[in-house]
Amino acid sequence: MNDNITRRQLLVGTAALAGASAFPMPSIAQSAPVKLGLLTVKTGPLAQAGIQMEQGVITWLKEHDYKMGGRKVELVSADTGGKPAGAKTKAQALIERDKVDVIVGPLAAFEILAISDYVKEHKVPTLSHAGGDDLTQRTPNPYFLRPSATSSQAMHPMGHYAVTEMGKKRAVTINFDFAFGHEQQGGFQAAFEQGGGCVVNRLYAPLGTPDYTPYLAQMKDCDVVCQGFASSAPVAFMKQYAELGYKFPVVAGETGADDALLPAFGDEALGMMSCSPYTLDLENDSNKRFVAAMLREFNVVPGFNAAGPYVICDVVNAGLEAVAGDTSDRDKLMAALKAVNLKETPRGPISFDQFGNVVGSFYVRRMEKASGNQYGLKLWNRTVKTYNNVGQFWDWPERDFLAKPVYSRDYPPMNKC
Amino acid sequence: MWATSYLAMENRKTAEMTFWLLLTVNSITFASLLFLLAAGFSLIFGLMRIPNLMHGSLFMIGGYLGATFLGGMFETISFWVGAAASAIIVAVLGAVLERLLLRRLPGQPLAQVLVTLGISFIVADFCLMVWGGDPLTVPGPESLEGTIAIGPMAFPLYRLAVIAIAAIVAIVLWFLLERTRFGAMIRAGVDDPGMARVVGIRVSLLFTLVFALGAGLAAFAGVMAAPILQVYPGLDQYILPLALVVVILGGSGSLLGAIVGSLVIGFIYNFGQALVPELAYFVLFLPMLLVLLVRPQGLFGRFEI
């Protein structure tokens, strides 16, 4: 039997094809599963956070029987390695090979900045956990929705709290030297200085550096330290900070005192203040259910890296319900996603501004000794103040905020203190 | 809980001194860790001309084994016993790898590089599989907990102890190389392997022993470093380039070269990160480049790379 198609086969095949296309196509698409592409990090210095992301998504899917908007959901997970190049490669694989309908993630700001143009070009709705502030500010991407927070969104209230409620005036900030770190530092500085404080020094450590001593050695002449380390780095940082005898109060964003790290922190972290869009101690039904589910499925305490993607699934679900499960019209789906307004989620009520960035509640917590039955933890982040309806521009008028450059390594500029 | 910050109100000059003092002591601590690692690499490269690119992985495995032994599995084990156990296990592993794999590639540096590099990837994945992706903290020995006052600042006692340990190891290695027959055989093998064989030195057994010694030292360094750096995936890739730079700078096959190279790199690494953070890695590799151009055998090396 030779390999070439015989003329008979060609004629029969063409006839069949013509015949099939004559019939109206049934909407098989609607019973095909919705493909959710998850860009996460499972290796490298950001792995701890990325693994939580996947756990949050799987917890949601298991709770809802792998169904969203009335359709079955198929999850495709990809490990970007926590690098922009890896994010680009995996985004391409998800979009072109796996043909996902929606992308959830990625984790890091520098990753989303690397893939933004690509997802825009391919019109794939991307619900990011990462910051990358400008994507909802000066260079908005119409296929981009950020249900988590901009990098600076939690640092604005933290800076405000540090100067107004803690009465601090001179801060030293320290972050990893990548987009997320720069944007966090910018947000803190802007709010801190608006309240009358001054950032004396800002330090950037290379991502993944294990020894913070060269940076700790430069912390002086201040009355508060603001750290924005991500993934599991805050644990090592606080340990080394205390080991070298530093006693300045420490404030942090949502990653610096993430609830998932509570089992790993030691007593040296007691008293650390942090501001986060999610807090384990939020007393509402959906959060209690979420935490119980995470403990049941994975035996880990969730932090923002799990809660964020969990809420992203809530948003995708609400969006899909609004379009009756139709993922073929991407623009209609994006409009439905942007219009999502949820009164109850594990992080409280959320909605979106016209740029696709979340507006929600932010919680300032203090790390204390756990008292009583708090999931068996020894340390606990207790909410001391809640800021409601916090958007990405804090209390500045939108036009003024956008007229200034995006937060970066050099902006805001350092002032003489 | 949080006391008023005294440093903020203190004399600016004291704060300056603290900065230099802290960085200096930390540089020497870091240099000590690098020395423990580089000494093994230097011996292996000096004697056997094998660029052992899995040296970082041996360091990391030593750290992980240390984390397992000292992390509560064996409650009453002493830190030093745990460190010695790690070192011995990895030394045996090193000997096995040398006998089974590297022995088959005499005089083929490219093949040796590729094999050791490949093994390092396998080891890294193995560690990820067994110990997971989270960094592991290893507690230091209880007798070395706490801080000691040096001038105006408090410095962790353990980090100072690391300096003392490295000094002891350096002295022991010096004695081994200069005053024992075994050391004489190693030095002969480094200077002229062909002649050493002719004279009747059992070079092949020597190779295995030296490789085991280097591997054991690397693992010991890994355990010593664990309370300071933590053990995490990627530790091998972090530490190996630094060890390579030390050996290239100081010269291979030379103990003095390893000591001097470690100190130079330790200082450049710490002060570079503090003073010129954007150029930290550039500043680190620049001396290595200069040395390769001007004096390719390194400061104290016996032969050219």
Least confident of B77-86, B157-166, B271-280: B271-280
Q: Reply yes or no on whether the pLDDT at A25 is more than 60.
A: no
pLDDT class of B50 with cuts at 50, 70, 90: confident
A327-332: list long-range contacts, CB under 8 Å, 24+ apart. A327/A29, A327/A34, A327/A101, A327/A102, A328/A29, A330/A123, A330/A124, A330/A125, A330/A143, A331/A123
Enclosing H/E stretch for B297? none
Residues in chain A with CB shorter than 8 Å from the CB of B12 are 221
More confident residue, A18 or A289: A289
Q: Reply yes or no on whether the pLDDT at B2 is more than 80.
A: no
Distance in Å, alpha carbon of B16 to nearest chain A alpha carbon? 9
> Are B23 and A213 an interchain contact pair (Cβ–Cβ within 8 Å)?
yes
Share of chain A above pLDDT 90, in %: 78
Distance in Å, alpha carbon of B187 to nearest chain A alpha carbon? 36
> Are B2 and A214 an interchain contact pair (Cβ–Cβ within 8 Å)?
no
Sign (positive or negative) of CA dihedral B259, B261, B265, B268: positive
The alpha-helical segments, DSSP class H, found in chain B are 6-9, 12-48, 55-68, 79-100, 109-131, 157-179, 181-191, 193-199, 203-229, 235-250, 255-275, 280-294
> Are A217 and B22 an interchain contact pair (Cβ–Cβ within 8 Å)?
yes
Sequence ranges of the domains in chain B = 39-294
Q: Reply yes or no on whether the pLDDT at B149 is more than 90.
A: no
Residues in chain A with CB shorter than 8 Å from the CB of B228 are 210-211
Residues in chain B with CB shorter than 8 Å from the CB of A248 are 2, 5, 7-8
- Return the pLDDT at A8: 72
> Are B134 and A42 an interchain contact pair (Cβ–Cβ within 8 Å)?
no
- Return the pLDDT at B109: 84
Which whole number is the average pLDDT over A184-193?
A: 96
Q: Reply yes or no on whether the pLDDT at B134 is more than 50.
A: yes
Best to test chain A binding among B27, B270, B273 (most A CBs inside 10 Å):
B273
- Return the pLDDT at A348: 95
Share of chain B above pLDDT 90, in %: 42
Of B6, B133, B230, the CB nearest to A43: B133
Q: Which residue has the tokens 């929606």?
A: A102
Least confident of A114-118, A202-206, B250-254: B250-254
Sequence ranges of the domains in chain A = 31-151+283-360, 155-280+361-403
- Return the pLDDT at B3: 43
pLDDT class of B5 with cuts at 50, 70, 90: very low
Residues in chain A with CB shorter than 8 Å from the CB of B153 are 244-245
Sign (positive or negative) of CA dihedral B22, B25, B28, B29: negative
Which whole number is the average pLDDT over A75-88?
A: 93
C-alpha–C-alpha distance, residues B231 and B246, integer Å: 21
CA-closest candidate to residue A360, choices A371, A346, A379: A346
- Return the pLDDT at A2: 53
A178 touches A185 (CB < 8 A): no
Least confident of A184-188, A225-229, B246-250, B286-290: B286-290
Q: What is the mean pLDDT of chain A?
A: 91
DSSP character string of A343-411:
S--TT--EEE-TTSBEEEEEEEEEEEE--S-STT-SEEEEEEEEEEEE-TTTTS-HHHHHHSPPP-SS-
Share of chain A above pLDDT 70, in %: 94
Enclosing H/E stretch for A67? strand A67-68
More confident residue, B277 or A251: A251
Residues in chain A with CB shorter than 8 Å from the CB of B32 are none
Q: Reply yes or no on whether the pLDDT at A116 is more than 80.
A: yes
> Are B5 and A248 an interchain contact pair (Cβ–Cβ within 8 Å)?
yes
Distance in Å, alpha carbon of A42 to nearest chain B alpha carbon? 8
Architecture in CATH for domain A155-280+361-403? 3-Layer(aba) Sandwich (3.40)
Q: Reply yes or no on whether the pLDDT at A255 is more than 50.
A: yes
pLDDT class of B7 with cuts at 50, 70, 90: very low
pLDDT class of A16 with cuts at 50, 70, 90: low
* CA distances from residue A10 to A5, A20, A23, A288, B70 in whole angstroms, order as listed: 7, 15, 21, 62, 71
Q: Reply yes or no on whether the pLDDT at B249 is more than 70.
A: yes
pLDDT class of B4 with cuts at 50, 70, 90: very low
B90 touches B62 (CB < 8 A): yes
Of B3, B235, B271, the CB nearest to A247: B3
Evaluate whether ipTM surpasses 0.85.
no
Which whole number is the average pLDDT over A34-61?
A: 91
Of A44, A170, A221, the CB nearest to B15: A221
Least confident of A74-83, B63-72, B295-304: B295-304
Q: Which two tokens stand for residue A243?
A: 């080991």
C-alpha–C-alpha distance, residues B229 and B137, integer Å: 8
Sign (positive or negative) of CA dihedral A169, A172, A175, A178: positive
Best to test chain B binding among A243, A265, A268, A305 (most B CBs inside 10 Å):
A243
More confident residue, B296 or A192: A192
Least confident of A17-31, A259-273, B170-184: A17-31
> Are A214 and B273 an interchain contact pair (Cβ–Cβ within 8 Å)?
yes
Could you tell me how many CB contacts below 8 A there are between chain A and chain B?
104
Report the topology of domain A31-151+283-360: Rossmann fold (3.40.50)
pTM here is 0.84
Least confident of A71-85, A107-121, A186-200, B36-50: B36-50
Q: Return the bridge partners of A172, or none.
A: A201, A225
Distance in Å, alpha carbon of A225 to nearest chain B alpha carbon? 11
B120 touches B61 (CB < 8 A): no
Of B22, B230, B233, the CB nearest to A43: B233
Over the stretch A348-383, which tens digit does the pLDDT of each residue have? Answer: 999 999 999 999 999 999 999 998 788 889 999 999
